[in-house]
Amino acid sequence: MRLLLPLRWLGRILHGLRRLALDLLTLAVIAFVVSAGVVFLQRPGIPAGAVLWVAPEGRLVYSYSEPRWSREFGRALGRPSSEVRIRDLTTAIDRAAKDPRIRALALDLRRFGGGSLPAAHTVARAVARFRAAGKPVYAYATSYSQSAYLVAAPAGHIFLDPMGAVLITGYADERLYFGKLLTRLGVRVYTFRKGKYKSAVEPLMRNGMSAAAREENEAWLHTWWSTYVEAVSRARGLAAAQVAQYADRLPQLLTGAGGDTAALALERHLVTRVADYAAFRAALTRAVLGRPSGHLPKIGYKRYLAAAQHVAGTGAVIAVVPIDGALFTGAQALPGTVAAGATVRQIDRLRRRSAVRAVVLQVNSPGGSVYAANEIRRALLRLRRTGKPVVVSMGTLGASGAYWLSTAAQRIYAHRTTITADIGVFAVYPDLSGALDRLGIGVSSVATTPTAGALSPFRPLRPAVAVALQASVDHIYRRFVDLVAAARRLTPARAQQIAQGRAWSGAAALRLGLIDGIGGLRDAVRSAAQLAKLKT
């Protein structure tokens, strides 16, 4: 009997833990339902004379990486958000600029995770439009990262915490190269590529950046930096040289300021006031109420957006389809990827919906599977044959396979700093036979034909197979160039000249005829409405 006592106690403990887990799960579900109900009940209320409170938590993204139910569940559990959808911010700010109930805009950037230059610049332009509407904009952060400062720069009042800094340093592209490591491990990587600048495979075959890759990267980095300097200097009324000098001589300038980063930012006219959060709130309250204290009517941008959507009408629709992440074949996408099967089904559904009059693809992708890109392109062509226009809006990336599928569009828009084109092809084959041999592992096989097992990673690649793989890459490259030439109305020779696997900035792509205009999602939607003969 004594021997059974520990087992009984163990059973009771396990039973208690199981009950506790079920109770916690039940509480989580209840919290989720209550939270969703509260959000629903709060939708319509927009106080008069309110401040639109924009306090983004997380990094800017073009589309969420997890489904809505997961985000809502996480919020109910108190899990901090890690992503901020750009479209939500810009739509809320633009609507509030025209809304007589909204009196001012507050940017609370303390938990803002930043984002790429095209992403941050998109939000910054919305802030500038709000201020151009004659409404005040106040910004605050404990410290401003490079992207956070770009968002805040159009504000008329920029507050910085006394212990904070404005970190403008410029842009760099740093990559790791594994050629020497793979050789030491006995791993040989066969690479097949077409295009002088197709550098994606270089980290597997080199120990440093090639001259062609350096030329390519320096070109788009220069466009990024010049665009950033121009945007900040225009927003702050400074000379471009002043902004560039701040980054170029930051260590020396900081030493001259006695190490006081906040005082340096104020001295260089990057901020309007060095003060804590309480002082920021008091100044904003005074601007809205005429006194430094009292109840400040405000509404968060998510709640405001929900309320604005709550009263929106119905009718003809311009659908926005995100292509956000690397392209893969398959039915369901993993976070950060685009599944061709799911995307094709979505496009086909939009083709059949009579209310949908046009489709805008919001592309932010480095490319991926050529098969996936071509399947999506075919679906877009089917949609266009019904008379529905297709317009592409490129975000940070619209390269390689993403540009392939974009050739199905009637118009392509990109930011000046979008990295696009990259019209080239590559394939990679690893040979692990050397590594296995060093480990004392032998490989033996039998096959019915010489081709069977030819692509096994456990044996060296036969020369005939290598020649065949390169021929396949060359064929796909020719097909890619032909698609671009036809879609962009270029001669084959001209398309070949600007292809070569080179990634171009949006500014260069416009000059070369690879896109139709510089702009964002807002411009693409307006263009789609025009093509569909809809009023905006």
> Residues with catalytic annotation?
198, 400
Q: How far is it, in rounded angstroms, from Cα 109 to Cα 115? A: 13
Q: Where are the beta strands (DSSP E) in 336-389?
A: 337-339, 356-365
- What token pair was written down for 392? 């592409």
| CA distances in angstroms from 90 to 63, 82, 127, 534, listed in the order given | 13, 18, 8, 22
Contacts of range 229-235, beta carbons closer than 8 Å, 24 or more positions apart: 231/121, 231/124, 231/150, 231/153, 232/149, 232/150, 232/153, 232/168, 235/124, 235/128, 235/153, 235/154
Distance CA 534, CA 536 (A): 6
**Spacing of C-alpha 221 from chain mean position:** 17
In order of 47, 145, 317, 327, the CA distances from 93 in angstroms are 16, 21, 21, 32
CA gap 522, 2 in Å, rounded: 76
Residue with tokens 């021997």: 3
Residue 63 has a CB neighbour count (10 Å cut-off) of 18
**Whole-angstrom Cα distance, residue 371 to residue 479?**
12
Strands (DSSP E) along 255-346, which ranges?
Answer: 273-274, 298-300, 317-324, 326-328, 337-339
List, as one string, the DSSP characters of 496-515. Answer: HHH-TT-EEEHHHHHHHTSS
Distance CA 496, CA 195 (A): 9
User: How far does Cα 225 stand from its chain's mean position?
Assistant: 18
